[in-house]
Amino acid sequence: MIKSLKNFLLVALATLMLVFGTTKIAFSKTVEIVMAAPDWPPTRFMQEYFNTNFQQSGDNEIKLTLDFIPWGDFYTNVAASLTSGEQKYSMLVSDSQWLGAFIEGGYFQKLNKYIDADPELGAIFDDMHQGYKEGYTTYPYKSTNYYGFPQFPDNYVNFYRTDIFCNPDENAAFRAKYGKKLPCTYADWEIIVWDDIFDINAFLTRKKGDMMAGKPLDDDIYGMAYQAGKGYDFSSMQINGFFWQYGGDIWDESNQPNAQAEGVVNSDVNVKAFEKYLDLLGTMHPSHKTGNMDIFGIQALYLEGKIASMVNWVGLGAPVVDPKLSKVHDVTGYARQPGTMQDDGTISRWANLGGQPFVLTTWMTDDEIDAAFKIIKWWLDFDTQIAAVKAGGQSCMKSIIYSDGYNALAPWNAAYVASMDWQKDVWHIPEFFELLTQQQEEFDKAITGQKSAKDALDSIAAFQQEILEEAGRIQ
Amino acid sequence: MNRNTGFIGWFLDPKRRGPLLIAPAIILLLLVNIVPLMWSLGLSFFKFRANQMKPPSFSWFYNYEKMLTKENIWESLQTTGIVVASSVFIQMILGFALAMLFAKKFPLRRIILMLVLTPMMLSYVAVGIFFKLFYEPEFGLLSQFIQIFTGEMYVLLATPAGALLGVIVADAWQWTPFVMLLSLAGLVSVPKYLYEAAEIDRISWWRQFTTITFPYVRSLLLLAVLFRTIETFKIFDLVYILTNGGPGTATETIAVLVYRMAFQYFRTSNSTALGYILIFIVIVLTSLYLYVIKKRESADI
């Protein structure tokens, strides 16, 4: 009797599980958000994590579909889609520089009224790190007109080979030659300035067959490398940091129409800073002469063990620790990038902000806007952000980056967080691509020895002055 | 006999069958070719940016004047001229030499000919990536080879002259087979009896070449020059992939500049004006060649 009752209960339970387990919540309709996204790990993670962890709520089922586009074609594809009027995307990942161009074109949705009306969105904005909020959301730059939320915040860190920099024999040899320590720990790197890299690069540049850290080298090796790429914004991102660290500046769009380009972009300070960048570049891997030592170029060199250190975005860190991709996955340390010593003995570490916000387009329906904000709240939620950081992403929400244990979530987190207060952004104006392309070409002429630093900066300043005057941004 | 009357009768009249049959093609051509062309021609007389909400404003010849007075456009035209002249010259010399070689019979001729023709069947992108890897200083074959003698990496694309050479070599490599094919068509059409007569008269090889061979292939060679000049003038993909116009602007051809202006700077009306200036240059070049061919033909008669 007991046995048959038990069997009956088991069958009943199984039936109930079958019925309720397969019953879907009835939604009135499905709202699909199609988002243009660069094809790389932070956005891939977003799609995968959404598919498995997003909790549906409300009457409509929300579907997020990321349209992955290779980085090299991303701007062109997005620009073509927006300007053609096809209205394919409801949301898209945008570089902060693109904000002005696409806001003026009428494609990006202004968010102020939604933020003012929704305390949760307001709280998200209050929680964002100020420098990142200005960079990712404002147009004009540093205004109170908001357009975006952080999809993937980023800044530079220094990736370095601990098996070389911490090798006792190399340290002893370096000390004997230069009278100082080869930086090994995070604390050691904190006092390193760009001038120190000349010695480090001279010391670590060795030929195939030479000894390095007790082993014969199977290939040539070079010291530190940073960006020197003609494409997109590669050289500018590093060189802008040099300008700011030396006390110089780029054209200040937040001070229109009074801010000038001539006299600022080609100031003596900027020329000195650019000369330092070029001098140091001369000690780096020869591929900089091709204009291809960009973020992917130096990443490839580092993963193959051909350079001892690289200054690169955190977003490119995940492959470094992947044993399938990296020869140095278990011998890499992380620090802040070097800075420039100031007269008062402090080190300036200004750098160009990296990362991207995501934005809403102006043709979204009310249902789509509602769905988009649910996705944004989910993405910037504490647990999602922590999961993203664990997967190689980053956050710029103060409640997260300053939370206990954050620095232990990824090996580069300490360097990332410590660098956050030293970020400035490049222009957000619609003319940015023209300014950027001409600047990249002139930087490349200086990098490849066709022009002096001064001549290149004079040309950039004159061009920017003309374009910005024509656009009415300089009087 | 039941005949259609009224509009249907008029429409189905045998006199109208011809125009009716070609009408769909004409309409399609108008829609996808002529209308956009006229639209862009119109745009070139306005101030307009495709990424901004401002309505176009009529500006007469402002865009043309601006494009023709820009220093970087003249530099770009000069770069294009160097690439066109050098690449087409190499293609003509090598293409004709190869055609002379393949005009004779030798073992495995067909197979080797097929392999030699392969580059022109590849896409520009594939050729661009292939040469980018070939010139790559770290592991590229060229650098590896030179490293044997110098012990140093060789960075061909680091200097303006080297980068230009890199582009010219890549373009010539891809399109020499095309010139060879046209020349070969001319060479095989030369009647054998002319050579036999020349042999009997003990005429030198050079004389045979200048009086028999070359006159037969001359018009085809001029056609090859015409095709290759027009095509090379528009060179974009190869340059964009190989050097991205660099170092600096050393290899920025006019087609690359038009692309940047149109789709990166969104100077829509400026780029259309520049596009029409290019079309004008190509038309002038084509007319010049046709004029030369016509003049030579009339001189021959």
Residue to test with chain B: of A234, A448, A452, A466, most B Cβ within 10 A: A448
Q: Is the pLDDT of residue B62 over 80?
A: yes
pLDDT of residue B15: 84
CB-neighbour burial class of residue A301 (10 A; exposed 0-12, middle 13-18, buried 19+) = buried
Question: How many separate domains does chain A show?
Answer: 2
CB atoms within 10 A of CB A407: 17
Name the most confidently modeled range: A4-13, A111-120, B154-163: A111-120
Residue type, A270: N
The 3-class SS string of chain B reads CCCCCHHHHHHCCHHHHHHHHHHHHHHHHHHHHHHHHHHHHHHCCEECCCCCCCCCEECCCHHHHHHHHCHHHHHHHHHHHHHHHHHHHHHHHHHHHHHHHHCCCCCCHHHHHHHHHHHHHCCHHHHHHHHHHHHCCCCCHHHHHHHHHHCCCCCHHHCHHHHHHHHHHHHHHHHHHHHHHHHHHHHHCCCHHHHHHHHHCCCCHHHHHHHHHHHHHHHHHHHHHHHHHHHHHCCCHHHHHHCCCCCCCCCCCHHHHHHHHHHHCCCHHHHHHHHHHHHHHHHHHHHHHHHHHHHHHHHHC
Distance from CA of B160 to the nearest CA of A (A): 8
Whether residues A162 and A293 share a domain: the answer is yes
Instruction: Name the residue range of residue A73's domain.
Output: 29-155+355-424
Query: A427 vs chain B: nearest CA distance in angstroms?
Result: 14
Q: Which among A352, A371, A405 is the end of a domain? A: A352
Nearest to B168 by CA among B201, B127, B205: B127
pLDDT for the residue B8: 80
Domain that holds residue B102: 64-300
Q: Which of A74, A110, A290, A437 to mutate to test binding with chain B, by most B CBs within 10 Å of its CB?
A: A290
Last residue of a domain, one of A352, A369, A398: A352
Residues of B in contact with A287 (CB under 8 A): 137-138, 155
Read off the pLDDT of residues A61-72 as tens digits, 9 standing for 90 and up: 999 999 999 887
Cβ contact B222:B45 at 8 Å = no
Tell me A207's DSSP state.
Answer: -
- What pLDDT is stored for residue A405 in this prediction? 92
Considering the domain boundaries, does residue B215 fall inside one? yes
The DSSP bridge pattern shows strands A347-348 and A340-341 to be: antiparallel
Residue A93 sits in the same domain as residue A83: yes
How far from B289 is each of A219, B185, B220, B221, B295, CA to CA, in Å? 54, 20, 12, 11, 10
Measure the CA–CA gap between A241 and A87, rounded to whole angstroms.
37
Residue B87 sits in a domain whose CATH number is 1.10.3720.10
pLDDT of residue A8: 62
Asked if A82 reaches chain B (Cβ–Cβ under 8 Å), the answer is yes
**Position B23 in a domain:** no
d(CA A281, CA A198): 9
Given this model, what pLDDT does residue B300 score?
Answer: 61
Give, in order, the Cα–Cα distances in Å from B235 to each of B80, B156, B240, B251, B253.
8, 20, 9, 11, 7
Interchain proximity B53–A444, CB inside 8 Å:
no
B244·A75 Cβ contact <8 A:
no
Position A133 in a domain: yes
Contact B247 A437 (CB under 8 A): no
Residue-level pLDDT at B120: 95
**Tokens 């290759």 belong to residue:** B228
For residue B3, what pLDDT is reported? 61
Distance CA A90, CA A359 (A): 9
What is the average pLDDT across A255-276?
A: 97
Mean pLDDT of A84-100: 94
Chain B residues touching A451 at Cβ < 8 A: 248
Which residues of A, range 40-79, sit inside 8 Å of B by Cβ?
Answer: 75-76, 79
Short-list B135, B128, B140, CA closest to B162: B135
CB-CB under 8 Å, A290 with B157: yes
Q: Is residue A1 part of a domain?
A: no
Nearest to B155 among A286, A434, A444 (CB): A286
Q: What is the per-residue pLDDT for B2?
A: 54
Chain B residues in contact with A221 by the CB 8 A cut-off are none
Is the domain of A185 the same as that of A313? Answer: yes
| Residues A393, A410 within the same domain | yes
Domain assignment present for B33: no
Question: Which residues are CB-contacts of B192 (< 8 A; sequence separation ≥ 6)?
Answer: none
Say how many CB pairs under 8 Å bridge A and B: 91
pTM for the full predicted model? 0.86
- DSSP state at residue A408: G
- Count the domains in chain B: 1
Return all residues near A385 (Cβ < 8 A) that are at least 6 apart: A379, A393, A395, A397, A400
Note whether A410 and A401 are within 8 A (CB).
no
Closest approach of B266 to chain A, Cα-based (Å):
9
pLDDT of residue A10: 59
A82 and A151 inside one domain: yes
Nearest CA-CA partner of A78 in A64, A94, A66? A94
Question: Which two tokens mark A33?
Answer: 């958000």
Could A290 and B245 be called an inter-chain contact, meaning their C-beta atoms sit closer than 8 Å? no
**With pLDDT > 90 as the criterion, what percentage of chain B qualifies?**
70
Is A437 among the domain residues?
no
Would the CA dihedral through B190, B194, B196, B200 be positive or negative? negative
Gap between the Cα atoms of A465 and A473, Å rounded: 9
Measured between CA atoms, the residue of chain B closest to residue A228 is B247
For the cut 80, the answer to whether the pLDDT of residue A81 exceeds it is yes
B-facing residues of A in 267-326 (CB < 8 A) are 286-287, 289-291, 301, 306
Higher pLDDT, B7 or A422: A422
Task: Give, in order, the Cα–Cα distances in Å from A238 to each of A157, A204, A221, A273.
Answer: 12, 22, 22, 11
Give the containing element (helix H, strand E) for A417. Answer: helix A413-419
Instruction: Flag whether residue B148 sits within 8 Å of chain A, measured between CB atoms.
Output: no
**Percent of chain B, pLDDT > 70?**
97
Decide if pLDDT at A338 tops 80: yes
Q: Does B265 touch chain A (CB under 8 A)?
A: yes
Of A83, A230, A286, the CB nearest to B137: A286
- Quote the pLDDT of residue A28: 85
Amino acid letter, A398: K
A209: left (phi over 0), alpha (psi -120 to 50) or beta: left
Distance CA B262, CA B270 (A): 8
Q: Are residues A204 and A289 both part of a single domain?
A: yes
DSSP A65-87: EEEEE-HHHHHHHHHHHHHHT--
**Locus of tokens 């190509």:** B282
Question: Residue A435: is its pLDDT beyond 90?
Answer: yes
CATH number for the domain harbouring residue A337: 3.40.190.10
With an 8 Å Cβ cutoff, is B71 touching chain A? no
B266 and chain A: CB distance < 8 Å anywhere?
Answer: yes
What is the tens place of the pLDDT at every residue in B100-122? 999 998 999 999 999 999 999 99
Residues A220 and A306 in one domain: yes
**pLDDT one-digit tens code per residue, A190-243:** 999 999 999 999 999 999 999 999 999 999 999 999 999 988 899 999 999 999
Q: Of A309, A298, A299, A301, whose CA–CA distance to A332 is shortest? A: A309
Percent of chain A with pLDDT strictly greater than 70: 95
- Where are the strands (E) in A70-206, listed by range? 91-93, 148-154, 156-161
Q: What does the pLDDT look like over B63-76, one tens digit per residue? A: 999 999 999 999 99
Average pLDDT across chain B, whole number:
91
Position B235 in a domain: yes
- What tens digit of pLDDT does each residue of B262-279 get? 988 889 999 999 999 999
Looking at beta carbons, which residues of chain B come within 8 Å of A441?
245-246, 248-249, 252
- A195 and A106 within one domain: no
Whether residues A321 and A407 fall in one domain:
no
pLDDT tops 90 at residue A309: yes
Q: How far is CA A160 from CA A157, A171, A184, A197, A420, in A?
A: 10, 15, 9, 12, 20
Burial of A418 (0-12, 13-18, 19+ CB in 10 A): middle
Q: What is the mean pLDDT of residues A313-335?
A: 95
Question: In percent, how much of chain A has pLDDT > 90?
Answer: 86
Q: Average pLDDT of B33-42?
A: 94
Residues found in chain B = 301
Asked if B195 is an interface residue toward chain A (Cβ–Cβ < 8 A), one would say no
The answer to whether residues A115 and A135 belong to one domain is: yes
Distance from CA of B270 to the nearest CA of A (A): 13
The reported pLDDT for the residue numbered A4 is 61
Average pLDDT, chain A: 93
B52:A442 CB<8 A: no
pLDDT confidence of residue A7: 67
Question: Residue A367: is its pLDDT beyond 80?
Answer: yes
* A119 and A170 share one domain: no
List, edge to edge, every strand of the sheet that includes A332-335.
A222-225, A307-313, A156-161, A332-335
> In the structure, what pLDDT confidence band is assigned to residue A16 with cuts at 50, 70 and 90?
low
Final residue of a structural domain among A352, A380, A397? A352
